[in-house]
A = this chain, B = another copy of it.
Amino acid sequence: MNDTFLKACQGKKTDYTPVWLMRQAGRYLPEYQKVRSKVDFLTLCKTPELAAEVTIQPVDILKVDAAILFSDILVPIEPMGMKLEFSESKGPILYDPIRNDIAVSKLRRIKAEDDVPFVMETIRMLVKKLNVPLIGFSGAPFTLATYMIEGGSSKNYVNTKKMMYQTPELYANLMEKITDTVINYLQAQINAGVHAIQVFDSWAGILSPFDFEKYALPYVQKIIAAFKGKVPVIYFAFNASAMLKKVKQSGADVLGIDWRIDISDAVSALGNDVTVQGNLDPCILFGTKDLIRDRVAGILHGAKGAKGHIFNLGHGILPETPVENAISMVEAVHELSSKNSR
């Protein structure tokens, strides 16, 4: 197996900088669209043969150094007791949003092996077939809580923050239940064979540093502590580039960096004892090949002071992205980093 990605997670020397792309299995690939045209999104997540197929596609097409399980962060929320639907126009919908004690008390702590067996089945199929490491993942508790409290995406997350500020005990009870579910879910993924895990805190950036430290970070720390030393853990707190010192307190082996910061500034803030992952603006893939190569070079150079570097976008790849540009990006990372290896 190509273990470049895992070595970089641990900050070990590698022959070149490994690269994968958030949402690398997805709508920008015609091969994905072909599979997706036959089934709805949630059915795709729940059908191991199909989920495995689309997980493998970008490894073959882009030649990335890691695969990430095809699934959705809300998959484990459904068996907690919420009805989940994906609307083409509105995105995810969780019915009967959680707003009071009764709703929180009704939520189940899931047993992932029994409640979402298709995820583990997908993982078991994938680890037999892949020649690169497989990344498992979960949403972070705060991000999952926002969906559960708001009932989907939101503009200002007023209901979530109202619960935090007005009924902090209720909020804490909800977060503890979610945290237990996440730990169980990630442990089951590790048991099934994933080589690393990423915790996505997609909405961390709606919080001030004070609120992040109080209402999100402790739960992430509990999760990461549970897996420390078992498999590498990547924590990606999106839109939190102005509070990276707090993000580092998560204890993760690898920190995802979005594109809103010069990666050399991120490395300065974080120090040289953690691996960084990132951080090309996904929109650069709409530029020329020269622009892509130039920005790749800048990021490779900027990340040099870190313990390790995994190249990635600063957010998920966009649906309209030309596939040949994503391929060019991966090639540029491999070529430019080999010439000038870490």
- Identify the A interface with B (CB < 8 A): 156-158, 161-162, 165-166, 205, 207-211, 239-243, 259-262, 265, 281-284, 286-288, 291, 295, 298, 314, 318, 320
Contact = CB atoms under 8 A, between A and B. Distances in A.
A153 to B, nearest CB: 11
A284 to B, nearest CB: 7
23 contacts: A156-B282, A156-B283, A157-B283, A158-B283, A158-B318, A161-B286, A161-B287, A165-B283, A165-B287, A165-B288, A166-B287, A166-B288, A208-B262, A208-B281, A209-B260, A209-B261, A209-B262, A210-B262, A240-B260, A241-B242, A242-B261, A242-B265, A243-B265
> Interface majority SS on A: helix, strand, loop or mixed?
helix
A207 B288 CA distance: 17
Residue of A161, A162, A318 most packed against chain B (CB within 10 A): A161
Query: How many copies of this chain sit in the oligomeric assembly?
Result: 2
B291 A165 contact: yes
Of all A-B residue pairs in the complex, the 5 with the closest CB atoms, nearest first, are: A165-B287, A241-B242, A242-B261, A161-B283, A242-B242
A315 to B, nearest CB: 9
Contacts of A281: 161, 207-208, 211
B261 A158 contact: no
